[in-house]
Amino acid sequence: MTNKKLIVTILIVAVVCFVLGFLASSQFNTTQGILGGKNTFQAGWEAAKARLTETGLMPMAANIETKTVSGEIKEINGNKISLKIRPLEPLADPELDNRVVIVDDNTKIYQLDPKDPKVYQKELEDFNKKMREQTVQPGALPQPVTPPEYFTKKQVNLADLKIGQQATITADKDIKNSKEFTAIEISLTSTTSLAPATPPPATPPPATPPVQ
């Protein structure tokens, strides 16, 4: 099955399962004398997720811990950051697309900037050379060699954060379903730092002298 057909199939199954779950929950709430509303919506949503997991169209992720999320900084209010994240799974609760990240005295904030390509290439060549030259004696473990990082990492302050920056947030607990949590580390990038350098304007060709 092609990726396009798979996506269409997932969407169709999700819609059908959601509607069935919603109707089933509505019937249950009516029978029990409980009002619908948000609880009914959530029940339908969970039914759709469960059904997709059973069919194998959505990976089982319910029991997987998530300590890192990434997204765009939308607002900064004191020591709280509003972050619009990329959904963690196809049917993640839309309410969790927007997270509130708390910055305290223990939060480390880093600005990541891409290295000069020539510098990174040289570091990569040196790393590959060390890997090739590394000889392992019988029964001995190889010495660890750390590969080079593409970004330089500089520690900054909360005041250096800007709206529109891309941020990767790390916590010390499972934050998969946490609307608000405290970060232990924030790594910042920007669209400008990831964009390729603009080439210099081309020099126009000399004017051709008119034919006499």
CATH number at residue 88: 2.40.50.320
Residue 30, token pair as written in the block: 């009516």
| 139 assigned to some structural domain | no
Residue with tokens 């997720």, as numbered in its chain: 49
Rounded to 10 degrees, the C-alpha dihedral 24/26/28/32 comes to 180
User: Are residues 109 and 154 located together in one domain of the fold?
Assistant: yes
Same domain? 100 vs 74: yes
pLDDT digits 0-9 by tens, 121-132? 999 999 888 888
Residue pLDDT, tens place only, 5-48: 555 565 565 555 555 555 554 544 444 444 444 556 666 666 66
| Count: domains in the chain | 2
8-state DSSP, 102:
E
Same-domain pairing of 100 and 161: yes
Same domain for 81 and 50: no
Angle, helix 38-55 to helix 3-32, in steps of 10 degrees: 140
What is the rounded average pLDDT of the residues 123-144?
A: 77
139 by DSSP, 3-state: which?
Answer: coil
Per the prediction, the chain carries an average pLDDT of 75
- Residues 12, 86: one domain? no
Q: Which domain holds residue 32?
A: 3-55
Q: Is residue 28 located within the same domain as residue 101?
A: no
Same domain (yes/no): 89, 183: yes
| 83 and 7 inside one domain | no
Q: How far apart are CA 176 and CA 123, in angstroms?
A: 36
Q: Is residue 77 one of the residues assigned to a domain?
A: yes
pLDDT tens column, 60-92: 555 678 899 999 999 999 999 999 998 887 767
Q: Does 119 reside within a domain?
A: no
d(CA 79, CA 67): 20
- Together in a domain, 166 and 106: yes
**Residue 74 phi, psi dihedral angles, 5° rounding:** -100, -30
